[in-house]
Chains A and B, each alone.
Chain A
Amino acid sequence: MNFNINFFKYRFIAFVLSALLIGLSAFLFLTKNLNLGIDFKGGIMIEAKFSDVPDLALLRDKIDNLQIGNSEIQEFGDSNTILFRLEKIDDGNITQEQIIQKLKNELDEDTDYRRVEFVGPKVGKELKSIAIKAVLFSLIAMFIYIWFRFSGWQFGLGALVALFHDVLSTMGFFSLTQIEFNLASIAAILTIAGYSINDTVVVFDRIRENLVKTDRELKELLNLSINQTLSRTLMTSITTLLALLALFIFGGEVVKGFVSAMMWGVLIGTYSSIFIASPLILFFGFKKVEEKS
């Protein structure tokens, strides 16, 4: 396919759209917040598979009667499988082992406990700070790499803004869908960042090549570069989405949240490298002379 789309005609529409997207993400983030998993919040999570479909209302009553703090009960994957999330943990009076045992005593004996996870408040806090560090460091590392490789801070900044755009809107995606935000979500965000920057680099690379090769006006040159790489950008997005789709449908309940975030990330990453990163180079006042000197 040979594309000749004037992307720059749409750059203001894209900027407005992205601004709205970021605004909406921030709004969702502030109002609905993230559905933090026990990785960061601390607490107990139990995935139990029952031999018969359990009565959720009855289960809820049973758990409430135990007086082990706030709890959440939901179906997980199929109607036989229930996910319990308990807020309360070791407070000196009762240990988490006792809480787990209490809950287990209420359920049928042949219940299959597929997952039992417990994260103490101390570890939750540590994991939170580790997650923030990991995301920030990777953004900074990518910014520095691009700046260095493309000898122009406009490139680095363009890529960085696109990255923030992707990360923030992915957080918005997590708020909107209320998919549990856990350690796997951080992995998803970092992979999205890697994927998005990968796309951006391919376009930037072509820009760099064209800067030496052709004598076109910068705006036209940027547009040409995006068009030349568009077919590859779309191809890779499609194959990646195909693989993700297979994971989403067949990969099981545990990775579903991770995979859906990744799918969103591939879409938004592709969009941002076309509509955000490259036009921003122009916006930041990159001049052709700079490159040639």
Chain B
Amino acid sequence: MLKINKWNVFFVLAVCVTAIYYIIPNIYGKSEVTALPKFLSQKQVNLGLDLQGGSHLLLEVDTKSVLKEKSEDLVDDIRKSLRKSKIKYSNLGSKITGAVVTISDSEKITIAKNNIKENIEQGITIEESKNKLNLFFSDQYIIETRANTVEQSIEVVRKRVDESGTKEPSIQRQGEERIVVQLPGIKNPERVKALIGRTAKLNFHMLDPTTVELAEQRGKLPPGTFKALNSDPTAYEKQFVVKKRVLLTGERLKNAAATVDAQTGRYVVAFEFDKKGAKKFAKITTDNTYQRLAILLDNKVISAPQIREPITGGQGNISGNFSPETANDLAVLLRAGSLPAPIKVLEERTVGPSLGIDSIEAGKKALAIGFVLVIVFMILRYKAFGIVADFAIIFNIILLISMLSAIEATLTMPGIAGIVLTVGMAVDANVLVFERIKEEIRSGRSILNSIDLGYKFAIKTILDANFTTLIAALLLYNYGSGPIKGFAVTLSIGILTSMFTALILTKLIVTFWVLRLKPNKLYI
């Protein structure tokens, strides 16, 4: 028999209170919400990058290059230890993850093996076959190296992003060697991207007195040198002959800042070495006075000043052809340190602020108009019951938004589309019930009986039908990315709330109504 279930009344009231509790913070701005009294919720719906504007970057750390470097270091270690113990060898070379060497005197292979073992890192296995030594990284070693490389890269990227002045960035690891960077409200994504992507390996070399022209005339470079491009392609000197030996690296830097040189009035990057670096720098500048230093950033010469006097204070200036921005960027890069491995941008999604604002406006408009269309249509079709269903739609939207706030979901443009779609589809549950009630009345049952049966029969169908849509939404959530996930979230929550409003809320209203007014005819 149709009657008001006290527990349902209690349940509906509890849901109402919870919904209001969670929806309140959304009225306030982001900064105001933290000022709300403690007993109120401070959770808000977050706007996705596509609505507030910003950049989403998917980066990949080239961890292979680190393993390659490590393999080359291993070759150096082998060479050193074999030379030290005066063992003759041949065919020394690196592999993708390890190295190989042939010991000329096969009787000395065990000594060689032991000597090498003392000089290399743990986690490198040595195998001997005849007079050959095979060194390779253990799986554990490879996994750890890659993990460390990615961790360090994240740290460096974080420092650089923080220094670039982006508000509330999010930097997270994804999978084994990927990093997701989210930069909300960013104005100049190109600049930040350029900052993130630079390896920024700073090396100090000496310039060889031989000019590039001279080397080309001779047809070969002096031994122990290499050719390096000028980082400023417009400069007079396009290339330099640089001595191979690295005298000092950026790792020894303590600080760097962009300033204006008092004498020339140009932008320079002032740097300061730590204690050890300062000592080394003093020795370099003392030994090589009047020669030219070569400061290389990622293997390009950014500055090649002449050393006029020994610099003992550990401080110096890099004077390239800098603008205020490029000087500042370089200072940021030097302060944050270099990346342990090259980083590549695999995917970028940037939305400008104007599109975000337009999207929000369009979403609001579509929601309002879709809402009005459906509401009017429901009243035309189901009269008084239409009003009940409309009440359910309104409640449904409130409930949906409050649930999105409670889980602090991210609202995206497809997510808004999901809400609008929910307005259209959420009436389905009510439609199923109403149509069933009509049918029962047609077959001659009493009003109370028809309503009771209408809900009873429809409930099974509603559960079955909505479950399949939920399957689709959950798979979408699982496989979707960014904005699409937002759609899956609003769609699934919309389905859940529509079941609640149709099966419990409107049932309560309808029951209350017919029990109170006892109508002899239902306008449905």
Which positions in A face B, CB cutoff 8 Å? 2, 47, 49, 90, 95-97, 100-101, 104, 112-120, 122-123, 127, 130-131, 133-134, 137-138, 141-142, 145-146, 149, 183-184, 186-187, 190-191, 193-195, 197-199, 201-202, 205-206, 209, 228-229, 231-232, 235-236, 238-247, 249-252, 254-255, 258-259, 262
Task: Among B469, B479, B480, B491, find the residue whose CB has the most chain A CB atoms closer than 10 A.
Answer: B479
B355 touches A100 (CB 8 A): no
CA distance A100 to B350 in the complex (A): 12
Quick one: which of A194, A250, A255 contacts B471, CB cutoff 8 A? A194
CA distance A98 to B1 in the complex (A): 73
A262: chain B residues at CB < 8 Å are 421
The answer to whether A138 and B345 have CB atoms under 8 Å apart is: no
Judging by beta carbons under 8 Å apart, are B475 and A141 in contact? yes
Residue interface bits B7-47, CB-to-A below 8 A is 1, else 0: 00000000000000000000000000000000000000000
Is there contact, CB below 8 Å, between B377 and A131?
no
Given contacts A95-B197, A96-B348, A197-B472, list 17 more A-B pairs with CB under 8 A. Answer: A112-B352, A116-B349, A122-B346, A186-B480, A190-B473, A191-B472, A193-B472, A195-B469, A205-B460, A209-B457, A235-B431, A236-B425, A241-B424, A245-B373, A250-B365, A251-B416, A258-B414
**B370 within 8 Å of A (CB atoms):** yes
Interface residues of B in 331-362 (CB under 8 A from A): 344-352, 354-355, 358-359, 362
Query: Do B484 and A184 have beta carbons less than 8 Å apart?
Result: yes
Chain B contacts of A133 at CB under 8 A? Answer: 479
Q: Of B374, B435, B478, which is in contact with the most chain A CB atoms at under 10 Å from its CB?
A: B435
A262 to B50 Cα, complex, angstroms: 21
Report how far A255 CA is from B359 CA in the complex, Å.
9
CB-defined contacts of A199 to chain B, threshold 8 Å = 465
In-complex Cβ contact of B439 among A97, A228, A246 (8 A): A228
State which residues 416-434 of B face A: CB under 8 Å: 416-417, 420-421, 423-425, 427-428, 431-432
- List B residues at the A interface (Cβ < 8 Å): 50, 58, 60, 189-190, 193-194, 197, 344-352, 354-355, 358-359, 362-363, 365-367, 369-371, 373-374, 377-378, 381, 413-414, 416-417, 420-421, 423-425, 427-428, 431-432, 435, 438-439, 442, 457, 460-461, 464-473, 475-476, 478-481, 483-484, 487-488, 491
Contacts of B194 in A (CB 8 A): 97
Q: Which of A130, A202, A250 contacts B369 (CB 8 A)?
A: A250
Q: Which residues of A contact B58 (CB under 8 A)?
A: 123
Residues of B within 8 A of A113 (CB): 350, 352
The answer to whether B377 and A252 have CB atoms under 8 Å apart is no
A236 touches B351 (CB 8 A): no
Q: Which residues of A contact B50 (CB under 8 A)?
A: 254
Contact A187 B414, beta carbon cutoff 8 Å: yes
Cα of A95 to Cα of B348 in the assembled complex, Å: 13
Is there an interface contact between B349 and A190, defined as CB atoms closer than 8 Å? no
In contact, A120 and B472 (Cβ under 8 angstroms): no
A-B interface, 3 closest residue pairs, ranked by CB to CB distance from nearest:
A243-B424, A246-B370, A194-B472
Give the complex CA separation of A251 and B424 in angstroms. 15
* Given contact pairs A247-B420, A250-B362, A118 touches B189 in the complex (Cβ within 8 A): no
Q: Which secondary structure dominates chain A's binding surface?
A: helix
Contact between B370 and A242 (Cβ–Cβ < 8 Å)?
Answer: yes
CB–CB B354/A114 < 8 A: yes
Contact A250 B366 (CB under 8 A): yes
B366 touches A247 (CB 8 A): yes
The reply to whether A255 and B414 contact each other, CB–CB distance below 8 Å, is yes
Q: For the complex, would chain B's binding face be called helix, strand, loop or mixed by DSSP majority?
A: helix
For this complex, 27 residue pairs linking A to B, each with C-beta atoms less than 8 Å apart, are A90-B344, A96-B348, A97-B197, A97-B345, A112-B354, A114-B354, A114-B355, A115-B351, A118-B348, A120-B344, A123-B347, A127-B481, A131-B479, A141-B471, A142-B471, A145-B468, A187-B476, A190-B472, A194-B470, A198-B466, A201-B464, A202-B432, A238-B377, A244-B420, A245-B373, A246-B366, A251-B366
Contacts of B350 in A (CB 8 A): 113, 115-117
| Cross-chain contact A118 with B347 (CB below 8 angstroms) | yes
Q: What's the Cα separation between A134 and B370 when bound, in Å?
A: 29
In the complex, the chain A residue whose C-beta lies closest to that of B421 is A243
Give the residue of B352, B359, B476 whose beta carbon is less than 8 angstroms from that of A134. B476
Among residues of A, the one whose C-beta sits closest to the C-beta of B393 is A239
- A187-B480, A243-B370, A262-B421 known; A115-B355 Cβ under 8 A: yes
B424 with A239: CB separation less than 8 A: yes
Residues of chain A within 8 A (CB-CB) of B464 are: 149, 201, 205
Cβ of A187: which chain B residues have Cβ within 8 Å of it? Answer: 414, 476, 480, 484, 487-488
Determine which residue in B424, B438, B480 has the highest number of CB atoms from chain A within 10 A of its CB, and name it.
Answer: B424
Q: Is A194 a contact partner of B469 (Cβ separation < 8 A)?
A: yes
Least Cβ distance of B259 to chain A in Å? 27
Interfacial chain B residues near A259, Cβ < 8 Å: 417
Q: Which residues of A contact B488 (CB under 8 A)?
A: 187
Q: Contact between B481 and A119 (Cβ–Cβ < 8 Å)? A: no
* Contact between A138 and B427, CB atoms less than 8 A apart: no
A10 vs chain B, min Cβ distance (A): 23
Listed residue (A120, A236, A243, A258) with the most chain B CB atoms within 10 angstroms of its CB:
A243
Residue with the highest number of chain B CB atoms closer than 10 Å, among A127, A249, A255: A255
Assess whether A118 is in contact with B484, with CB atoms less than 8 Å apart: no
CB neighbours of B414 from chain A (8 A): 184, 187, 255, 258
CA gap between A166 and B134 in the complex, in Å? 59
Q: What residues of chain B lie closer than 8 Å to A47, measured between beta carbons? A: 355
Contact of A138 among B60, B354, B421, B471 (CB under 8 A): B471
CB distance from A141 to the nearest CB of B (A): 5
Q: Can you name the residue of chain B whose Cβ is closest to the Cβ of A184?
A: B414
Cross-chain contact A235 with B466 (CB below 8 angstroms): no
Which chain A residue has the least Cβ–Cβ distance from B438? A231
CA distance A259 to B469 in the complex (A): 17
Knowing A117-B349, A120-B345, the reply to whether A252 touches B479 (Cβ < 8 A) is: no
Whether A232 and B435, one on each chain, are in contact in the complex, defined by CB atoms closer than 8 angstroms, is: yes
Return B120 CB to nearest CB of chain A, in Å: 34
> Do B373 and A243 have beta carbons less than 8 Å apart?
yes
- Complex: chain B residue closest to A251, CB-CB: B366
Q: Is the CB of A240 within 8 A of B421?
A: yes
Which of B347, B467, B470, B473 is the one whose CB lies under 8 Å from A120? B347
Closest to B376 in A: A242
List chain B residues, Cβ under 8 A from A243: 370, 373-374, 420-421, 423-425
Neighbouring B residues of A193 by C-beta, 8 Å: 472
The closest CB in chain B to the CB of A114 belongs to: B355
Name the B residues within 8 Å of A119 (CB-CB): 346-347
Q: How far is the CA of A202 from the CA of B432 in the complex (A)?
A: 9
